Amino acid sequence: MNKRKVALVTGANRGIGLEIARQLAEHEFHVLLGARSLEAAQDATEALRANALQASSLHVDLNDKATLISTADEVERLFGHLDCLVNNASICLDAGRVSKGSMLEIFRDTYETNVFGLFTLTEIMLPNLKKSCAANVVNMSSAVGSLAIWGNKELLRAHNLRPTFAYCSSKTAVNALTVLMAEAYAEFGIKVNAACPGLVSTRMNGYSGARTPEEGARIAVKLATLPADGPTGGFYNDEGRLPW
């Protein structure tokens, strides 16, 4: 197991996360499927194993630091390194479907998962990432986090975006973290990029997206499998680089 590349994907029990995990496993990774519900992660893992793919499940709750520390310890114990971290897990509470709390509560809960949880997990996993020959970190973002798009009426119409204050701004913060992480981790040979999957049909958006999870996962997998001399500190979708 230690000779095979290892990838950890958060929010991997369904949707884009599960598809990223499946495609990485097809790229000869041993994939660790992380989810808030260990049972859900285990069910997803069994589905991959049924297709002869190498996968394991982990309890990864971005709001519970103890599970993140446990995850890092387990990766160290079983594999001794981590080649790829895909920060896929996120929530969207201000679209009127999930939460009835105050806007301030929605902001706090959204940032707790989408920003603080993402950053905490990445920092906790950093010692394992450093042990890889050429690790990749992929932060799942969105065009809704692009300030350049929001500030350009033509681009805004082309992307057909709708503002949700907490979710959109949390993805802007993810983009900022991507740039800062890329700079900070460069000395360790770790590349950090942000991926925009497009509007994918998932439970988060009430299955209203035009793209399939298979299509949405492609850019994340491409960035997760970049060679050692690949780009870092960028924001990409299937068509190329996106503006910050």
Q: Which long-range contacts (CB under 8 A, 24 or more apart) does 18-22 make?
A: 18/44, 18/47, 18/213, 19/213, 19/214, 19/216, 19/217, 20/86, 20/88, 20/217, 20/220, 20/221, 20/224, 21/48, 21/55, 22/48, 22/51, 22/53, 22/217
Is pLDDT at 216 greater than 80 in this prediction? yes
- Name, in order, each residue with C-beta under 8 angstroms of 112's C-beta and a sequence gap of 6 or more: 62, 63
Q: What pLDDT is stored for residue 98 in this prediction?
A: 47
3-state secondary structure of 10: coil
Domain regions of the chain by residue span: 5-241
pLDDT at 59 over 70: yes
Helix, coil or strand: residue 140: strand
Rounded distance, CA 230 to CA 104, Å? 40
Mean pLDDT for 185-212 is 78
Range 5-241 has CATH code 3.40.50.720? yes
Lowest mean pLDDT among 1-5, 79-83, 86-90, 228-232: 1-5
Q: What percent of the chain has pLDDT over 90?
A: 77
Measured distance between the N- and C-terminal CA atoms of the chain, rounded to whole angstroms:
38
pLDDT in tens, 106-157: 999 999 999 999 999 999 999 999 999 999 999 999 989 999 988 887 776 7
Q: Say what the pTM is.
A: 0.91
